[in-house]
Structure formats: C-alpha cells, structure tokens
Amino acid sequence: MDLVSDRLLYLVALAFYAAATGWAVRLWRRGFVRDDWWCYGLLAGGFLPNTAALLTRGFSLDKCPVTNLFEAVMFISFAVVLCHLVIGIWPRLRFLCALAAPLLLGLGLFGIQPGLDQPAPEIGVSKGIVSLHAALVLLAYGTFGLSAVAAGLYLVQERNLKFDKVRAVMSRLPSIQKLERVVTQSVAVGWVLLSAGLSLTVVLVRQSGSDLVRGDPKVIWSIVVWIAYAVLLVMRWQRGWGTRPLAWGALGSFTFVMLTFWGTNILSPAHH
C-alpha cells in the first residue's frame, strides 16, 4: 500500500471528526442536557481509519511514523481520540468528546496542508529509540490536550454553578469534582510522559555523535513547556492553588503548545 493511502485514510478520519464537531455544536447549544452518543460514536468511527493510517505509514517506514509534521498530527490525533474514548466509557465524562472534536478537526486541517508530509533524512541513530522518544513526547501532548479539554469544561461548569444553577443541575456535564481530578491527573501524567521522552534525548545525542541539539529552537521550546507544566504541578500541590487557576494554566499552556509546536519544529535543524 503506497503513501497516498495513508493520506486517504486520514482524510476519512478527518471527515468523522468534522461530523463530530457538528454534533458537538448541537450539544453546546443545548447546554449538554442530553446524553447523546453521537459525538462519542463519531470520534470512535474516526479513530479506526486514523489508526489504520498510522499503521500503514509505520509499516512502510519500518518505525513509528513520527518523522514529519503530517505524521506528528496523525499521532497526536490518535492519542487525543484514544484518551477520550477511554474516559468516555463513563457517561458523566463522555461530553469531553464535544470539546475534543473541534481540536481534532483543527489539527487535521493543519496536518493535510501541502509541504508538511516530506520524507525525513536518516540521522544515524537507533530507530527504536527515536520512535520511543517521539511516541512518548507526542502522547504527552495528547494528554495535555485532554487536560485542556477538561479545564475548559471545568470553567464552563463553574460558571454555570455561579450564574445559572438550574442549567448546571440539568446539564449532563461531569461533576465539578470529577473535572478537577481529570485536569490535575492528566497534567501530571502528561508531564511524566514528557519527562520520559525528553530524557531519551541524551541517548540520541550520544548515538548520533552530533551537537545539533545545543541551542536548537525545538529543544529550548521543549524545556520551556516542561518547566511550564512543572510549575503548574508545583503550584497546585505545594502552594495550594485552587482548580480555577490550574484550569486556566492548563488551557493556556496547551494553547501555547498548539500555536508554537509547528513553527519550532520547522525552525529546528535537529527535527526538520
């Protein structure tokens, strides 16, 4: 199967994500007062061709398919959907999918732009280590995406409790306590995954015998992101931050990641 099939499979997944976004808009307008499986089911439908596209590309490359921006988008989409399908098993958490759908659609529309799917050069290091490094880092970003979605819902539910208690009671949104746990735990899990992925950079540098990472924009950016999420966790657990500032921090941090990930990747000699 050639590489065009990978893109076609991902386009099919993107069509499901677009449909899920449409249903998500309906759920928002109704205030999440109905337990509607459609958004969850459409994301599940997109997950299958998304996974097939990753597997097809991975078998063709004989390694984890994260060698360019298009593949990174496919992998992040896969991680985000997987997280939401798992937590969506619980009905009170299922409506996290309604905020994930637009994120997946936006990622996909960016990923299919011409010029992002270019073959990566050989860098003379273990494919296994490179694949594990990329997979851990991208899974971390997917988990941070989950924290941002949960943070958004937390802020919505908090506002409802303050200004529209009837709507908050009637809403099918998860309880504010559950959303608080999801935000905190997903930030913590994402930070651990990111730490593990970044630690493999030392191994890659030693194998390649190159000093490309010194002053590399992507490496500096990754350290900044790692510090930002570490600060959120420290402020939460050591300084007694409430959930509201943590939610805004998780939402703002992930917005920063999504707005700058692609540019730093292109500017990075070690990653481009």
* pLDDT digit string (tens) for the chain, length 272 residues: 454 588 899 999 999 999 999 888 877 666 665 556 888 889 999 999 999 998 898 888 777 777 777 888 888 888 888 888 887 787 767 777 877 888 888 888 888 887 777 776 555 555 667 777 777 888 888 889 888 888 887 887 777 666 655 454 445 566 777 788 888 888 999 999 999 988 887 776 676 555 555 667 888 888 999 999 999 999 888 777 778 888 899 999 999 988 888 778 777 666 55
**To which H or E segment does residue 180 belong?**
helix 176-208
Is 117 part of any domain?
no
- Give the chain's domain count: 1
* Residue 116 resides in a domain: no
Q: Is residue 11 part of a domain?
A: yes
CA–CA dist 144, 132 (Å, integer): 18
**Domain contains 224:** yes
Domain assignment of residue 223, yes or no? yes
- Enclosing domain of residue 251: 3-111+125-267
CB-facing half-sphere around the CA of 34: CA atoms within 13 A = 13
* Nearest of 18, 25, 27, 22 to residue 49 by alpha carbon: 18
Report the amino acid identity of residue 197: G
What is d(CA 257, CA 254) in angstroms, rounded to the nearest whole number? 5
User: Max alpha carbon distance in the chain (Å)?
Assistant: 63
Residue 35, in any domain of the structure: yes
Cα 13 to its chain centre, rounded Å, is: 16
Assigned domain for 130 exists: yes
Residue 76, domain member (yes or no):
yes
CA atoms of 25 and 29, how far apart (whole Å): 6
Distance separating alpha carbons of residues 150 and 100, to the nearest angstrom: 9
